[in-house]
Structure 1
């Protein structure tokens, strides 16, 4: 499928996703307020951390190696899938047990002993394995380049998730919203499974269901990159949010989360296209010239799209805030520009980051990820705690600096690897 066809079809998926998120944003803003937004952000970060081992780490490796093997033989693909599922299930069970055992500590440390969170933590523990299986099936489709099927499942999932979250939030308030956030992907597993099984069945090989230690080692080594990002991002977000709450107040933490939510929504077309189309193509590129050509095409499409999106977001920021939120969120109009600048650097860097992942440059990727998020946390901490009259804008400026540094570090690293003929 051509890249512009992917953009069009993926654009439809993103439109549905954005429409449902906009509706939920409004519901959350009305029923939960700014402090409620902070709690939603916290539970999402906890969820992301919980899914690192059973889902995020393994899913990326499935996309990479399925892309590589899809033109060789079905036995390799099926054997890899089976071992990935075994590993995911074991890690999911361990994660669920840890969540349930340490439930009270999680609530005390991250939610100030808020009783409404307790039942959501139980739902989180019970949803881990199904959540992981859902992502694994989607990764299989992505790696095989069944893009239409992958995107249609995402469209259906967006609609079901929105209806589910809307009903729970309206019916049970904060408690319902928290439950919806942690359990919706588990429910979607059944939708994904029944929709995709007819497409994946042809890759079934009867005698390849055994555990293969060599495959497990490849998954684990490759997964170190995804694990690094999957841990650093939510942990850094939790850290910065707690610093905002401590240095200013929880309402400003809610404003900060609202800006991050806007950012994730308007960048969705770009980030999903990177994951759905370009990452599998980076992984399957068999030589240097083919890979560099894919990167060139990627930037030709993404850079203009980022610039246009940023200009539109800045121009209509007041209208967007009024539509998506309530009057409590009006202060974010003044700081959105900082987020937009940081997002530009982020997207430029992400393309190069995907290149490192696709070619399994484990050490280089991990070092740069640690650098990026360490700089962000240190600058945020300094600006909030040691600068007089701490303001929320300082955190966004720290974001710009960290993303710019990350981008330039990636450029230097890729140039070095090219000169050494390692790419």
Structure 2
């Protein structure tokens, strides 16, 4: 995590220095598109690969059905997505980059997308086989390689170099992933078109539906908000908004890691609502006070923070921190409850509340940009996460609200 943060800060500094706020905004657009392409191509199956890879490790027939279904479906979906990206590359370029022409970069992505997907699957299989040290090594190589290649290409080719880095690093990384996966290469020999399993595909569909709603809708929302800022205000303003979002990503990384590593496994094991409530309140007591202190610190050092991570061109972004931080506070105190949806596979509830969040985030931000300017985007962020918190609290009212009133009658 530390290396990821250091290299991420290095990439942000280089982007700010060589490309400015405008380039920063356009890189944000391409990152969102890349996330959408990855998630569609991989079928949103990363968690499914971890689950069924682990379950079938010692059962060859089950593993054969799993690998055949996964690689067969992955190859087919990846081919379809690649053809669509290549066919509509000019249209995609207009959405992402307006008058600039980076169609060739998008077309290259269409051809190398299978390497990206293969890397996603291999990392997920390493997780399934609990090869965590190997995963850490691959990630470290990826982060360092990304920083070095980004520095070289952005210096020589400006924005085009930055975009090329984003598509070639996952392609290069697959070879390192394959190297650390060499003890399991025999698993690929199990692939057989005839071993397609309809039951396995149905199980994949459950995970795909739950994952794709979130992993596709939010990149689309951020792309829409950023393009709204560009249209209503300027590319420079969109760069300021992107810069604050990137800083938020860094401090949220720590809390989200705790949720994934410690809270989610506890929620999976929780047998009733009392245990669920106890886990949530323990998180509030132990983690949230430290998180709040961190948020307050970020707010008060926002100016030197912007200078450290970016350049003085980005100083106007300091006006966006207050509502971003307030929104992120409600985001985390809500997410610890939302993880119950994942732990107990409450698919419909997760999809509906996630769609509410995505739609609310987009419309609140875009509507308030017209009224308050750039600050409207972060005000919308704050309002949306307060509403999301209230919605989730009402959903779990039998756990968090009703018992309180019964005790105080």
1:364 pairs with 349, 352, 355, which one? 349
- Cα deviation, 1:23-52, whole Å, max 9, x if unaligned, reads 111111111111101110111111111122
Find the aligned partners of 1:132 and 1:291 in 2 and give their Cα distance. Answer: 38
Counterparts of residues 198-217 of structure 1 (less than 5 Å): 198=183, 200=184, 210-217=195-202
2:151 pairs with 150, 166, 184, which one? 166
Counterparts of residues 2-401 of structure 1 (less than 5 Å): 14-55=1-42, 57-66=44-53, 69=55, 73=59, 76=62, 79-115=65-101, 117-198=102-183, 200=184, 210-275=195-260, 278-279=263-264, 282=267, 285=269, 287-288=271-272, 292=276, 302-385=287-370, 387=371, 390-401=372-383
TM-score (norm 2): 0.88
- Report if aligned partners of 1:63, 1:280 keep a CA contact under 8 Å in 2: no
Using a 3 Å threshold, how does the CA distance of structure 1 residues 138 and 412 change in structure 2: closer, same or farther?
Answer: farther
Find the aligned partners of 2:80 and 2:261 in 1 and give their Cα distance. Answer: 29
- Report if aligned partners of 2:67, 2:188 keep a CA contact under 8 Å in 1: no
Find the aligned partners of 1:414 and 1:77 in 2 and give their Cα distance. Answer: 38
- Report if aligned partners of 1:56, 1:230 keep a CA contact under 8 Å in 2: no
Using a 3 Å threshold, how does the CA distance of structure 1 residues 276 and 71 change in structure 2: closer, same or farther?
Answer: farther
Find the aligned partners of 1:291 and 1:64 in 2 and give their Cα distance. Answer: 24
Using a 3 Å threshold, how does the CA distance of structure 1 residues 71 and 183 change in structure 2: closer, same or farther?
Answer: closer
- Report if aligned partners of 2:299, 2:322 keep a CA contact under 8 Å in 1: yes
Instruction: State the shift of 1:408 in Å.
Output: 2.6
Instruction: Return 5+ residue gaps in structure 1 as ranges.
Output: 1-13
| Range with bigger deviation, 409-418 or 250-259 | 409-418
Instruction: State the shift of 1:251 in Å.
Output: 0.7
Instruction: State the shift of 1:100 in Å.
Output: 0.4
Find the aligned partners of 2:177 and 2:274 in 1 and give their Cα distance. Answer: 33
Query: For residue 3 of structure 1, what is the aligned residue in structure 2?
Result: none
The number of residues matched between the two structures is 399
Instruction: State the shift of 1:380 in Å.
Output: 1.6
Find the aligned partners of 1:53 and 1:313 in 2 and give their Cα distance. Answer: 35
- Cα deviation, 1:295-318, whole Å, max 9, x if unaligned, reads 566556643443243133223222
Using a 3 Å threshold, how does the CA distance of structure 1 residues 103 and 298 change in structure 2: closer, same or farther?
Answer: same
- Cα deviation, 1:99-132, whole Å, max 9, x if unaligned, reads 00000111123321311x2222123212321111
Using a 3 Å threshold, how does the CA distance of structure 1 residues 66 and 367 change in structure 2: closer, same or farther?
Answer: same
- Cα deviation, 1:293-340, whole Å, max 9, x if unaligned, reads 765665566434432431332232221111111111001122212211
- Report if aligned partners of 2:273, 2:399 keep a CA contact under 8 Å in 1: no
- How big is the alpha-carbon RMSD for the aligned residues of Structure 1 and Structure 2? 2.9
Instruction: State the shift of 1:277 in Å.
Output: 5.5
- Report if aligned partners of 2:43, 2:77 keep a CA contact under 8 Å in 1: no
Instruction: State the shift of 1:416 in Å.
Output: 5.3
TM-score (norm 1): 0.85
Instruction: Return 5+ residue gaps in structure 2 as ranges.
Output: 402-409
- Report if aligned partners of 2:330, 2:389 keep a CA contact under 8 Å in 1: yes
Using a 3 Å threshold, how does the CA distance of structure 1 residues 124 and 302 change in structure 2: closer, same or farther?
Answer: farther
